[in-house]
């Protein structure tokens, strides 16, 4: 149907390899609960408060920017 727009959906193929390698064992990328066209970060079990993982690659944002 020509009136329908095609929305690109983010897939694991769109994620840089270094990001996938940097994910902790108990964290996975699945479709976002907020935006179904994007991937979201999901925990497969509880993550303790203060747990750190990385390395972080990218620009840090203030809480008000996310």
In the chain, the largest separation of any two C-alpha atoms, in whole Å, equals 50
Write down the pLDDT at residue 2.
56
Write down the pLDDT at residue 59.
80
In a domain, 7, yes or no: no
Measure the CA–CA gap between 50 and 24, rounded to whole angstroms: 14
Q: What is the pTM of this model?
A: 0.61
In a domain, 36, yes or no: yes
Which SS3 state, helix, strand or coil, does residue 57 take?
coil
Give the chain's domain count.
1
In a domain, 16, yes or no: yes
CB count within 10 Å of CB 59 equals: 6
In a domain, 61, yes or no: no
Phi and psi at residue 22, to the nearest 5° = -85, -5
Kindly indicate the confidence band of residue 1, based on its pLDDT and cuts at 50, 70 and 90. low
Domain extent at residue 20: 12-43
Summarize pLDDT for 24-65 with one digit per residue, the tens. 888 999 999 999 899 999 999 998 898 887 666 678 888 898
């Amino acid at each position: 149907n020509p009136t329908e727009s095609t929305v690109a959906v983010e897939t694991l193929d769109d994620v840089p390899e270094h990001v996938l390698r940097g994910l902790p064992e108990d964290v996975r990328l699945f479709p976002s609960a907020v935006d179904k066209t994007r991937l979201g970060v999901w925990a497969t079990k509880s993550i303790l408060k203060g747990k750190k993982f990385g390395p972080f690659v990218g620009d840090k944002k203030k809480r008000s920017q996310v």
